[in-house]
């Protein structure tokens, strides 16, 4: 049987520990092609490069895998992969990550990892973004492998609703084993930002973004609860941001 074609990208850069883990797992499932940023692109959201050059260079960083490093954003990487690298070949699956840090709740809007996956979904391809909720420099990714393979294999076999990308988050490595997988919703949680005003050696003012992540959600059916209770969270996401429930209300109440 023909091996499935799997496109791999990320936002932490092509040399990151997370993408190396993801590539190793995907090689067990199919033919892997990597197009990933040549430098970290965390927090880029769904930015694309307009008005500047995009560079794409082939690299042998992954043994036995066709791979390219790109000067652009994660979304740029998926676009270039589809239109230039793969040309007439269509990926059976797009995967992004493994991100070094959480992408639960509202963080999906800022996430370059998930933007690569959502770009795949926009093009009608099954797509998954993987993230590990551990920011430590020596974070252990080993416990994610079994679940990455299980989720990716299920998507390859059963498919996804067109336009849907999965946002998968893993709890950090703990003494107890992961309890399982929870298919759930995005938690009602957000960052409460603070901007620290500082001055450089020349006396020019600048700001440094800080703040805390605050969870307002008391439910037990969301990604934040799942991670806190040692489950893998899987949130199906769409790129249509229309508030459909508001359309009829506005049509009834607005006199415009």
Residues annotated within the binding site for a divalent metal cation are: 11-12, 42, 99
What number of other Cβ atoms are within 10 A of residue 120's Cβ? Answer: 26
Lookup: tokens for 150: 């299980």
The residue behind tokens 């607005």 is 254
**Residue 100: helix, strand or coil by DSSP?**
strand
Dihedral Cα 130, 117, 102, 236, nearest 10 deg: -90
Indicate the burial class of 26 (C-beta count within 10 angstroms; 0-12, 13-18, 19 or more): buried
DSSP E strands: which ranges in 38-156?
56-59, 66-70, 93-100, 127-132
In 3D space, the residue among 10, 81, 67 whose CA is nearest the CA of residue 42 turns out to be 10
Scanning 210-254, the segments in alpha helix (DSSP H) are: 223-228, 244-253
The residue behind tokens 């199906």 is 236
H helix or E strand, kind and range, residue 13:
none
Distance CA 218, CA 126 (A): 31
Lookup: tokens for 219: 């439910």
- The annotation places the binding site at 11-12, 42, 99
């Amino acid at each position: 049987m023909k091996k499935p074609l799997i496109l791999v990208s990320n936002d932490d850069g092509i040399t990151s520990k997370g993408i190396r883990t993801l590539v190793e797992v995907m090689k067990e499932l199919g033919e892997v092609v990597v197009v990933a940023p040549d430098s970290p692109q965390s927090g880029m959201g769904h930015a694309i490069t307009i008005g500047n050059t995009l560079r794409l260079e082939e690299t042998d960083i992954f043994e036995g895998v066709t791979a390219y490093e790109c000067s652009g954003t994660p979304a740029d990487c998926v676009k270039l992969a589809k239109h230039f690298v793969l040309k007439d070949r269509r990926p059976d699956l797009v995967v992004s990550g493994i991100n070094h840090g959480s992408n639960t709740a509202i963080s999906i809007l800022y996430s370059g990892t998930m933007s690569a996956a959502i770009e795949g979904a926009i093009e009608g391809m099954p797509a998954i973004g993987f993230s590990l909720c551990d920011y430590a420099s020596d974070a252990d990714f080993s416990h994610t492998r079994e679940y990455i393979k299980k989720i990716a294999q299920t998507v390859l076999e059963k498919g996804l609703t067109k336009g849907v990308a999965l946002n998968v988050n893993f709890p950090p490595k703990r003494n107890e084993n992961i309890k399982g997988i929870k298919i759930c919703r995005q938690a009602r949680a957000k960052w409460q930002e603070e901007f620290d005003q500082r001055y450089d050696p020349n006396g020019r003012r600048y700001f440094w973004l800080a703040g805390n992540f605050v969870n307002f959600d008391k439910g037990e059916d969301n990604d934040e609860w799942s991670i806190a209770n040692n489950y893998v969270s899987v949130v199906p996401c769409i790129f249509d941001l229309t508030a459909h429930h508001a359309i009829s209300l506005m049509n009834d109440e607005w006199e415009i």
